[in-house]
Structure 1
Amino acid sequence: MPYKNDLAKNRACNKVPRPTNPPLTSPSCDEYPFASTHEGLDKAGINFSVAWVEGPDNCSGGAKLVDWYQKNRILEGDPFWVDVVKKGSKPPPDVAQADPSEFDFAHCEDD
């Protein structure tokens, strides 16, 4: 499934111009819904978002997402809800928090 989501993300990203003012140092296309989900861009229809971001930021976000899956025991096919909170707000107390010291950035690749 993620492979099809990546193809759909790449098609969508090719339609969005990369920022030029200021230009990104290491451009990477980010997507929502997450490529790692069954609801990724391949199945999203018109309900998706893509944006060019700095590569290290995108990789860091992906590492945090993987850590969140593991800490909350989100397994293949498990339903979960994404609750967007304002920057600086605290997430619900029953959600396991990511530990940045445990992030694995080895999977990071440039788009």
Structure 2
Amino acid sequence: MKMVRSIVRPEKVNEILAEVSDAGFPAVTKIDVAGRGKQRGVKVGDIHYDELPKEMLLMVVNDEDVDDLVKIIIRTAKTGEGNFGDGKIFVSEVEEAYTISTGKKGL
């Protein structure tokens, strides 16, 4: 199992969630976050915005589904030709998962 963490623009979240759900990935945790990427924020006139609003989407999927999920997120989250601030995706190993209500191990 892998955890796919996506940090994306807030205005793209509903579209991403619809696409991943339609592709068979309905389970997601959404968290409001703020931060900056390599560009170190945004400067508009004399004002520097150091922390930009983003959304983090957390999804745990089977290993064989990671590539499909990542492709969907990239395709849906990307703005135009791709801009700074479109986001980042992190994939990490999940050793075990349990459903609390049943105690069942696995997804």
Bucket of the pairwise TM-score, normalised by the shorter protein: under 0.3
State which structure, 1 or 2, has the greater radius of gyration over its C-alpha atoms: 2
Q: Higher helix share goes to which structure? A: 1
When normalised by structure 2's length, the TM-score is 0.27
Q: Higher strand share goes to which structure? A: 2
